[in-house]
């Protein structure tokens, strides 16, 4: 399985209790994170096979696995990214995207000026934000139809029209 065939959908957040349950941070719908089959590592090897899941505190999911796993093993694996095969995920509508498909896209303006590449998608509570890393630092752009009117995953690019009042962020995280 290639890296392109896998999508990160969660991360191990630690142990829950002493009976082998795990806390999982879902990167999407927490209610379905355990519904896509076994969790894989980045090479495609099976890490855990969820057999039950329930809502946990602070938006986490509490999962029990088919594999026998100790609290100590789960704590040692904290922050491990959990992948699933792309084929196991639901088909998306025309204007929907998986974050994994957006990261790495070339970002350009309406006039064709290259701004950089999409480094990450952030959500600080007010909606998705594209984090674009370029030669002039990092640009944060709302991921809305107005600010990102054209996304072409197959061509590897996204056209952005950042609002006038957005500030660029310097490499040190301070306003530039």
Average pLDDT of 126-146? 92
| Per-residue pLDDT at 70 | 93
Band (93; pLDDT cuts 50, 70, 90) = confident
Mean pLDDT of the chain: 88
> How open is the CA angle 142-144-150, to the nearest 5 degrees?
110
> How open is the CA angle 153-159-164, to the nearest 5 degrees?
150
Residues 6+ away with beta carbon under 8 Å from 125? none
Beta-sheet pairing, 106-108 with 157-159:
parallel
Taking the C-alpha atoms of residue 79 and residue 174, their distance in angstroms, rounded to an integer, is 27
Band (155; pLDDT cuts 50, 70, 90) = very high
Kindly report, residue by residue over 45-77, the tens digit of the pLDDT. Answer: 999 999 999 999 888 999 999 999 999 999 999
Kindly report, residue by residue over 12-43, the tens digit of the pLDDT. Answer: 999 999 888 999 999 878 889 999 999 999 99
């Amino acid at each position: 399985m290639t890296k392109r065939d896998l999508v990160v959908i969660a991360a191990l957040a630690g142990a829950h209790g002493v009976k082998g349950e795990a806390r999982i941070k879902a990167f999407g719908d927490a209610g379905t994170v355990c519904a896509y089959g076994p969790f894989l590592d980045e090479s495609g090897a099976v890490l855990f096979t969820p057999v039950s899941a329930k809502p946990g505190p602070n938006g986490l999911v509490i999962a029990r696995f088919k594999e026998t796993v100790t609290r100590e093993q789960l704590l040692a694996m904290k922050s491990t990214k959990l992948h699933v095969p792309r084929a196991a995920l639901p088909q998306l509508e025309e204007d929907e995207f998986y974050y994994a498909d957006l990261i790495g896209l070339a970002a350009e303006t309406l006039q064709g000026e290259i701004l950089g590449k999409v480094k990450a998608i952030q959500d600080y509570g007010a909606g998705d934000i594209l984090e674009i890393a370029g030669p002039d630092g990092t640009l944060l752009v709302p991921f809305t139809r107005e600010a990102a009117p054209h996304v072409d995953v197959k061509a590897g690019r996204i056209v952005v029209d950042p609002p006038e009042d957005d500030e660029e962020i310097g490499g040190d995280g301070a306003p530039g």
